[in-house]
Amino acid sequence: MTVSFSRKGRIPVRSIVKEIWAWISSIAIAFVLTLLIGLFVFQPTKVLGHSMDPTLHNEQRIYVSKLVHTFGYEPKYGDIVIIDSRVERPRSFKDDLLEHPLLELMRGVQDENMYVKRVIGKPGDVIELKEQKVYRNGEPLDEPYINETMQFSAERKWTVPEGSLFVMGDNRNHSKDSRDIGFVPLDHVLGIKL
């Protein structure tokens, strides 16, 4: 920072204003860029709970690609996705903005409606729970990532509708997922773990 003094030893007001404006505009540009990158490209997030054990752990920080949400493309089988669990309501740009980690930090709020899950079924797939396994279109899934053998009292079957996904946590016996909340609309898929 260069400070020039007038003959009387005072800093000209014009220089001070110019310097303050430079700082404010730099901070504003950094804030806007951080917001845009977090909304459309990638952002950090935190795993809350144990539903993805042993793959991911409670309080673990992960980075998420937002491109799936930005361009509306379908994730692949086995992708770990961040979803908005409020599947009964439509999402808006306002939701995306308010859920940005920077704005959550400023508001002192952490959204607990964001779940981290694995993609099991895509549109048209038939998902079945039987023989303590998950079947997709009649074939048992090879799932080396699950925490333990899944326990359930009755066999169940779903057909994934168009524009939706079926997701499950890796800790099947301790996960609230599509078995409970239902199918996840593609616009509720907020990102894919990098």
Q: What is the pLDDT of residues 78-89, one digit of tens each?
A: 999 999 999 999
162 has pLDDT over 50? yes
Confidence of residue 137 (pLDDT cuts 50, 70, 90): very high
User: Which residue in the list 65, 66, 85, 117 is annotated as catalytic?
Assistant: 117
User: Which residue in the list 51, 65, 164, 175 is annotated as catalytic?
Assistant: 51
Q: What was the pLDDT predicted at 142?
A: 95
Q: What was the pLDDT predicted at 101?
A: 82
Averaged confidence pLDDT in the chain: 91
Q: What was the pLDDT predicted at 153?
A: 82
CA angle 180, 172, 65 (to 5 degrees): 80
Distance of CA 147 to the CA centre of its chain: 22
Q: Judge whether 65 counts as a catalytic residue.
A: no
**Nearest-angstrom CA–CA distance, 167 and 152:** 17
Mean pLDDT of 44-72: 94
**Nearest-angstrom CA–CA distance, 80 and 182:** 17
70 has pLDDT over 80? yes
Q: Is 167 within 8 Å of 128 (Cβ atoms)?
A: no
Q: Is 125 within 8 Å of 159 (Cβ atoms)?
A: yes
Q: Which long-range contacts (CB under 8 A, 24 or more apart) does 109-113 make?
A: 110/46, 110/48, 112/48, 113/84, 113/85, 113/86
Mean pLDDT of 65-75: 93
Q: What was the pLDDT predicted at 6?
A: 47
Q: Which of 64, 185, 42 is nearest to 116 (CA)?
A: 64
Q: For residue 179, what are the contacts with CB-CB under 8 A and spacing of at least 6? A: 129, 156, 168
Confidence of residue 110 (pLDDT cuts 50, 70, 90): confident
> Whole-model pTM?
0.84
Residue 13, number of CB atoms within 10 A of its CB: 8
Q: Judge whether 51 counts as a catalytic residue.
A: yes
Mean pLDDT of 112-136: 95
Q: Is 146 within 8 Å of 129 (Cβ atoms)?
A: no
58 has pLDDT over 90? yes
Q: What was the pLDDT predicted at 89?
A: 94
**Nearest-angstrom CA–CA distance, 95 and 97:** 5
